[in-house]
Structure 1
């Protein structure tokens, strides 16, 4: 972890220079910034992995503890599902909530830019929205039991993308409290439904011997990629405007639909369905 953090610290100036040069070359500063940060992330992970391997080889870390606690759960997952299906599932886990998380990063700023007061935001988004999320969670759980997890997982992905388009309508209408209630109702119901199905899906993937570690890995992966992209939400809004940004958050949910379908297909083949 220290190696990962130090890598980001010492590459900050270099990254800033590279963003400037690449931004001029590509004539696209947001894209240049994204590419540089992705490279920094990959480099940081690589440095951390090398440091960990050296520490294990030097005897500074209990190899058996590392193997039992970290390597065995990962190895078990790949052994049970095979390399192709395991990577397919991991891709689905990493991208499933990308539409909601990327939009969520900028949502409070968006509401304030439309002129909603902090009291209105707290009442509608935080309080009313919480009840809608809980209702969506109960609905998602019920439907998952009734129709199967993968079908509701697919439905949740569709609804999460489609409800993001409502934010485009809100952006066009401006300060409109009834419309805000409608948008939050739809978005949070969809988010709650998708989350319930997703939790059920993740739970079905774990081995009872490694439940804690595998579930921790899955939930960490669930937010990693969306948070990385979400860090550039403000830059995208500045460059393209809110309407285009919300359209992008809806479109990036399309690959998730393909991943859900493929995962369901290969899981069905694996289970003989």
Structure 2
């Protein structure tokens, strides 16, 4: 109630924005491994890509995403995060059409995890800025949970979508969905919080 009171009708585009911002990440997580298997990569190559490569790339993405969120305007940080996430999806469309090579798999996994780490760090900062310090846990839990509700529902149809448009089409689409969140930024960034009408807690 406090969140809706403070942002009014602007809460609705904010909720749509957070739902689309991580859409590509969730969809990629759903079908990236099936793509690797269908493409014919060995279990050893997949374990390396999903282990050491993904770990270090993700850590680098989180570090750079946190730096961007601290140094840049939040609007630009969110744009860079959405673009990084989209590229992390589109690289799998490239992987599907490129000749089989372990190096290509490692490169794709690294770009994917770097983009997701960067976008995730920026997203956490943005959600933290939305919450009321009086109710940080409840409001952050609501926003982060809502952010993954629609993506997980769409992810349930990933297999059906892939059969219609193929792996390359699926990852082009998922990247475009993440980038589509940027369309709402002019509205979302104008959202201003009203002062809370709750009294200050006693010291």
**Aligned partner of 2:4 among 61, 78, 84:** 78
**Contact 1:150-1:201 at 8 Å conserved across structures:** no
The match for 2:30 is 105
**Aligned partner of 1:164 among 69, 89, 96:** 89
Structure with greater Cα Rg:
1
CA deviation digits over 1:89-140, x for unaligned, max 9? Answer: 1111122100121121011111111111222111112321011111100101
The answer to whether residue 19 in structure 2 is matched with residue 94 in structure 1 is: yes
Report the Cα offset of residue 261 of structure 1.
3.3
Report the Cα offset of residue 80 of structure 1.
1.0
Q: Flag structure 2 segments of 5+ consecutive residues without an equivalent.
A: 194-203
| RMSD, aligned α-carbons | 1.5
The answer to whether residue 41 in structure 2 is matched with residue 151 in structure 1 is: no
Report the Cα offset of residue 174 of structure 1.
4.4
Aligned residues: 193
The match for 1:185 is 110
Following the alignment from structure 2 to structure 1, what is the Cα–Cα distance between the partners of residues 79 and 40? 35
Moved more, 251-260 or 194-203: 251-260
**Contact 1:170-1:176 at 8 Å conserved across structures:** no
Report the Cα offset of residue 211 of structure 1.
0.9
**Contact 2:81-2:118 at 8 Å conserved across structures:** yes
CA deviation digits over 1:49-92, x for unaligned, max 9? Answer: xxxxxxxxxxxxxxxxxxxxxxxxxx111111112x11111111
Larger RCO, structures 1/2 (Cα 8 Å, 6+ apart): 2
The answer to whether residue 57 in structure 2 is matched with residue 132 in structure 1 is: yes
The answer to whether residue 140 in structure 2 is matched with residue 215 in structure 1 is: yes
Following the alignment from structure 1 to structure 2, what is the Cα–Cα distance between the partners of residues 223 and 237? 20
Q: Which structure is higher in helix share? A: 1
Given the two structures, how large is their TM-score scaled by the length of structure 2?
A: 0.89
Following the alignment from structure 1 to structure 2, what is the Cα–Cα distance between the partners of residues 154 and 136? 15
Q: Flag structure 1 segments of 5+ consecutive residues without an equivalent.
A: 1-74
Following the alignment from structure 1 to structure 2, what is the Cα–Cα distance between the partners of residues 88 and 169? 32
**Contact 1:102-1:233 at 8 Å conserved across structures:** yes
Consecutive aligned runs of 4 or more in structure 1 exceeding 2 Å deviation: none
**Contact 1:161-1:253 at 8 Å conserved across structures:** yes
CA deviation digits over 1:153-195, x for unaligned, max 9? Answer: 1111012113322211110124221111211221111111110
SS of the residue corresponding to residue 40 of structure 2 reads coil
**Contact 2:87-2:115 at 8 Å conserved across structures:** no
SS of the residue corresponding to residue 88 of structure 2 reads helix
SS of the residue corresponding to residue 135 of structure 2 reads helix
Following the alignment from structure 2 to structure 1, what is the Cα–Cα distance between the partners of residues 93 and 166? 10
**Contact 1:165-1:247 at 8 Å conserved across structures:** yes
